[in-house]
Amino acid sequence: MSYLRPFYAKVYAVVSKIPKGKVATYQQVARLAGNSKAFRAVGTAMKNNPDMKTIPCHRVVGSDGRMHGYSAGEGVNTKITMLTDEGVTFVGDRVQLAISQWKG
């Protein structure tokens, strides 16, 4: 583990705690990380993702259950596939947050 920035470290910690079959929004992760308004930095942290083995960034989606990008595989395509395989309820390109959102 390399040296992580204060906020990033918290973000990675939170994301790594997201259970399988559930998803969290960038806003929620930001809130659990200590700053509900830092969802921007959260996205940046995901892109930086130092250890995608321990950081399920695919379980982090947008506020409307939609996703914006993914640094691995075929991008969003892989992201949706992985979530679906984990049991997350999808409707089109959108995740049913009402059912699959993680409760911190």
Partner DNA sequence: CATTTGACAGGAA
Partner DNA sequence: CTTCCTGCCAAAT
Contact residue for DNA among 41, 82, 86, 90 (CB under 7 A)? 41
Dihedral of CA 11/13/14/15: which sign? positive
Angle between helices 26-33 and 6-16 (to 10 degrees): 120
Q: How far is the CB of 74 from DNA (least distance, A)?
A: 13
Number of CB atoms found within 10 A of residue 2's CB: 5
Number of CB atoms found within 10 A of residue 78's CB: 14
Examine residue 6 and tell whether it contacts DNA (CB under 7 A).
Answer: yes
For residues 62 to 101, the per-residue mask of contacts with DNA, x marking binding by CB under 7 A and - elsewhere, is: xxx--xxxxxx------x----------------------
Closer by beta carbon to DNA, 67 or else 89: 67
21 is catalytic: no
Range in contact with DNA (rule: CB under 7 A) among 43-51, 82-90, 95-103: 43-51
Q: Which residues are catalytic?
A: 57
